[in-house]
């Protein structure tokens, strides 16, 4: 080391001398404020002076030399000790496997273009910190930390090479039995610890670069494109279900996770998260997890997202979620039932008791059930209603759910407003919201809460209905559940469908009102195009809901 330091000193002395000479030349050339009338310079002299001035930035050059020699000295020092350790068999193959070299472009991207720089582990951290501080204070362009990281990566590569040579019984690695100073052993163990940690650092830096370069494969970007593709394919309810499932996927893996990196490990992780989710249902005071059917819905939606990645942008060749689901037994397959006439009457006339019940959602609590019973609309469809979607034509008031349903390639979904709802004052409520300047029919519903984002904007009403309202009208959810029957807000939709069936309503018209896909594609899809049923005909059907 002394020999190298001597060379360094000579070089720095020479550099200082050249700096001094150039300084004297500049002083002479600038004497008397560069009076060209007294001191005429030839063009060649002026050009040479400008060239020399630009060529040498002496403080930075001197700093660069010092740091460069420091790195070389440390590199040679560590390499020499490492070779000894390998020859003695102390530095074994298991440790070598934990070492890793990384491309310079990765390190440069991390330290030059990185937004939040994570510093690599270093055995000479204090000294490198001092160099970094000096470079920053002097405004030098040199990045000491980057250069040391490149040196450590090169050191790892050399150790790996030496390790291979030893395994192959290379003479220079097995012929000698070198002497090892105890201090060198302690020093080297500290270095190896840092080099093993350098592996984790380099992997993270490589991943960050990969994520940046493969932006189109990031989970958030792919999900956004997937959801855009579904605008014309599925209705609002379907999109919300996809959104709920893919939002959970994002919360588990993060926006920048690459879709190409999903393996069985990630699938198991996501499935376990879904299995641990709470349902909002309580039994004996204990909140229950999701039913197997709900778990399968999450898995199915995510599976369809990955299938889209295979079919559309063709980013994947196989679906990691293929075949992943919960097996349902007969007891797990709960069915909903329609409300009885007596239950419908209680639901229609129910009013929250006291000041606390449904205090933040009073308007929604008053109208949601009534709208559901007389239209068959889904919970989140009602929650998403806009004031402008309540319209009138030919003396018939109706809900225009075409935009809400989002199926622009199908016939428009028009649902006439039942005379009973009008009698209850619904149109007056709509007018009141319009006068207040509200765009949404139920502005009190929170849209940006965690539960609303996950389950849809109607979740507040759904929880109140299932937990409080049903119990207060005498419906025992647990007893029904024990009998294989699920009672919830969606039963209102079943009630409407049952009444349509009882009155012999044409299946096509019933599906049009309820927002179902038309299964008879030849009869109603191919030939009818976007032509919908007459509003007056739909009004007659709605009035069949005679409870």
In a domain, 26, yes or no: no
Q: Which two tokens stand for residue 186?
A: 């302690």
If one counts every other C-beta atom within 10 angstroms of the C-beta of residue 329, the result is 8
pLDDT score of 243 more than 80: yes
Please give the residue range of the domain that contains residue 397: 335-542
Same domain, 307 and 375: no
**Judgement on whether residues 396 and 536 belong to the same structural domain of the protein:** yes
Q: With 70 as the cut, is the pLDDT of residue 522 above it? A: no
Which pLDDT tens digit goes with each residue over 353-374? 888 999 999 999 999 999 999 9
- Tally DSSP H helices, then E strands, for the chain: 27, 7
Instruction: Examine the domain organization and report whether 396 and 476 are in the same domain.
Output: yes
**Residues in Cβ contact with 27 at an 8 Å cutoff, skipping those fewer than 6 apart:** none
Residue 258 DSSP symbol: B
Number of domains in the chain: 3
Q: State whether 106 and 190 are in the same domain.
A: yes
The reply to whether 376 and 477 lie within a common domain is: yes
My answer on whether 268 and 126 are in the same domain is: no
pLDDT above 60 (res 21) = no
Q: Which of 301, 329, 357 is the last residue of a domain?
A: 329
Taking the CA atoms of 172, 176, 180 and 186 in sequence, report the sign of the dihedral they define: positive
Spell out the alpha helix ranges (H) of 230-291.
236-253, 264-276
In a domain, 20, yes or no: no
pLDDT bin (cut points 50, 70, 90) of residue 4 is very low
Instruction: Report pLDDT digits (tens) over 109-165.
Output: 888 875 557 889 998 989 999 999 999 999 998 899 999 999 999 999 999 999 888
Task: Kindly report, residue by residue over 273-331, the tens digit of the pLDDT.
Answer: 999 998 776 666 777 888 888 899 999 999 999 999 999 899 999 999 999 988 866 55
Q: What are the DSSP E strand ranges found in 292-431?
A: 335-336, 390-393, 396-400, 414-416
β-strand 414-416 against 396-400: which pairing, if any? antiparallel
5: pLDDT strictly greater than 50:
no
pLDDT recorded at residue 184: 87
CA–CA distance, 377 with 372 (Å, rounded to integer): 5
316 and 426 within one domain: no
Whole-number mean pLDDT of the chain? 84
* pLDDT of amino acid 34: 45
Question: Same structural domain for residues 401 and 292?
Answer: no
At 29, the pLDDT band (50, 70, 90 cuts) reads very low
| Residue at 449 is within a domain | yes
pLDDT at position 393 is 95
User: Which residues are 393's β-sheet partners?
Assistant: 396
Is 47's pLDDT higher than 60? Answer: no
Among 28, 62, 57, which residue's Cα sits nearest to residue 45? 28
CA of residue 143 relative to chain centroid, distance: 33
The answer to which of 202-216, 346-360, 373-387, 500-514 has the lowest mean pLDDT is: 202-216
- List the CATH number of the domain containing 406: 1.10.443.10
CA gap 194, 211 in Å, rounded: 26
365 touches 467 (CB < 8 A): no
Q: Is the pLDDT of residue 409 over 60?
A: no
What's the rounded mean pLDDT across residues 160-172? 86
Residue 89 neighbours by CB under 8 Å, 6+ apart: none
Q: What is the pLDDT of residue 212?
A: 78
Are 229 and 198 members of one domain? no
Q: Are residues 153 and 266 in the same domain?
A: no
More confident residue, 207 or 438: 438
- Percentage of the chain beyond pLDDT 70 is 82
| Structural domain contains residue 366 | yes
Q: What is the pLDDT of residue 363?
A: 97
First and final CA of the chain: distance in angstroms? 98
- State how far the Cα of 165 lies from the Cα of 171, in Å rounded to an integer: 9
pLDDT value at 213 more than 70 = yes
390 strand-pairing partners: 399
Please report, for the domain that includes residue 231, its CATH number: 1.10.150.130
Going across the sheet that includes 396-400, the strands are 390-393, 396-400, 414-416
Q: Which residues of 439-455 are buried (b: 16+ CB within 10 A; e: fewer)?
A: eebbeebeeeeeebbbb
Integer Cα distance of 57 and 135 in angstroms: 13
Task: Kindly report which listed range (44-58, 253-267, 308-322, 422-436) carries the lowest average pLDDT score.
Answer: 44-58
Q: Are residues 408 and 501 in the same domain?
A: yes
Alpha-carbon distance 137 to 140, whole Å? Answer: 8
> In this structure, is residue 12 part of a structural domain?
no
Instruction: Judge whether residue 41 has pLDDT over 50.
Output: no
Unique residue bearing structure tokens 């690459």: 258
Length of the chain: 547
286: enclosing H helix or E strand: strand 286-289
The pLDDT value recorded for residue 165 is 87
Q: What is the pLDDT of residue 515?
A: 86
Q: Is 528 found in the same domain as 462?
A: yes
Task: Check whether 458 has a pLDDT greater than 80.
Answer: yes
């Amino acid at each position: 080391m002394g020999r190298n330091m001597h060379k360094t000193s000579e070089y720095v002395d020479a550099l200082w001398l050249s700096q001094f000479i150039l300084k004297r030349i500049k002083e002479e050339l600038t004497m008397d404020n560069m009076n060209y009338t007294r001191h005429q310079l030839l063009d060649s002299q002026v050009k040479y002076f400008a060239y020399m001035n630009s060529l040498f930035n002496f403080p930075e050059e001197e700093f660069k030399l010092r740091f460069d020699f420091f790195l070389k000295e440390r590199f040679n020092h560590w390499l020499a000790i490492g070779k000894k350790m390998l020859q003695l068999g102390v530095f074994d193959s298991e440790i070598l496997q934990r070492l890793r070299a990384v491309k310079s472009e990765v390190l440069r991207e991390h330290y030059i273009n990185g937004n939040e720089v994570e510093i690599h582990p270093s055995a000479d951290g204090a000294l490198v910190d001092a160099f970094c501080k000096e470079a920053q204070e002097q405004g030098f362009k040199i990045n000491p930390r980057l250069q040391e990281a490149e040196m450590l990566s090169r050191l790892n590569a050399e150790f790996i090479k030496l390790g291979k040579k030893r395994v192959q019984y290379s003479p220079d690695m097995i012929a000698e039995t070198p002497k090892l100073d105890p201090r060198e052993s302690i020093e080297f163990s500290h270095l190896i610890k840092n080099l093993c940690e350098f592996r984790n650092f380099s992997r993270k830096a490589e991943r960050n670069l990969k994520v940046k370069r493969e932006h189109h494969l990031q989970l958030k970007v792919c999900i956004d494109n997937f959801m855009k593709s579904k605008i014309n394919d599925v209705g609002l309810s379907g999109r919300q279900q996809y959104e709920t499932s893919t939002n959970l996927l994002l919360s588990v893996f993060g926006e920048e996770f690459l879709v190409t990196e999903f393996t069985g490990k990630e699938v198991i992780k996501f499935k376990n998260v879904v299995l641990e989710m709470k349902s909002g249902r309580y039994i004996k005071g204990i909140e229950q997890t999701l039913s197997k059917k709900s778990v399968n819905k999450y898995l199915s939606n995510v599976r369809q997202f990955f299938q889209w990645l295979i079919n559309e942008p063709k980013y994947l060749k196989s679906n990691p979620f293929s075949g992943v689901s919960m097996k349902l037994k007969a007891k797990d397959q709960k069915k909903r039932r329609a409300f009885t006439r007596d239950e419908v009457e209680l639901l229609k006339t129910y009013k929250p008791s006291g000041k606390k019940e449904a205090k933040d959602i009073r308007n929604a609590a008053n109208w949601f059930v009534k709208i559901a019973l007389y239209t068959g609309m889904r919970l989140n469809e009602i929650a998403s209603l806009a004031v402008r979607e309540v319209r009138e034509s030919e003396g018939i008031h109706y809900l225009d759910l075409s935009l809400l349903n989002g199926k622009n390639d199908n016939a428009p979904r028009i649902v006439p407003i039942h005379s009973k709802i009008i009698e209850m004052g619904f149109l007056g409520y709509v007018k009141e919201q319009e006068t207040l300047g509200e765009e949404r029919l139920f502005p009190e519903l929170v849209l940006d809460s965690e539960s609303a984002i996950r389950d849809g904007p109607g979740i507040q009403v759904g929880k109140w209905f299932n937990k409080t309202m049903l119990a207060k009208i005498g419906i025992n959810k647990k007893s029904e559940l024990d009998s294989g029957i699920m009672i919830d807000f969606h039963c209102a939709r079943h009630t409407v469908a049952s009444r349509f069936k009882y009155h012999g309503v044409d299946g096509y018209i019933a599906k049009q009102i309820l927002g179902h896909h038309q299964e008879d594609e030849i009869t109603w899809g191919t030939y009818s195009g976007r032509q919908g049923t007459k509003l007056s005909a739909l009004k007659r059907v709605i009035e069949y809901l005679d409870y």
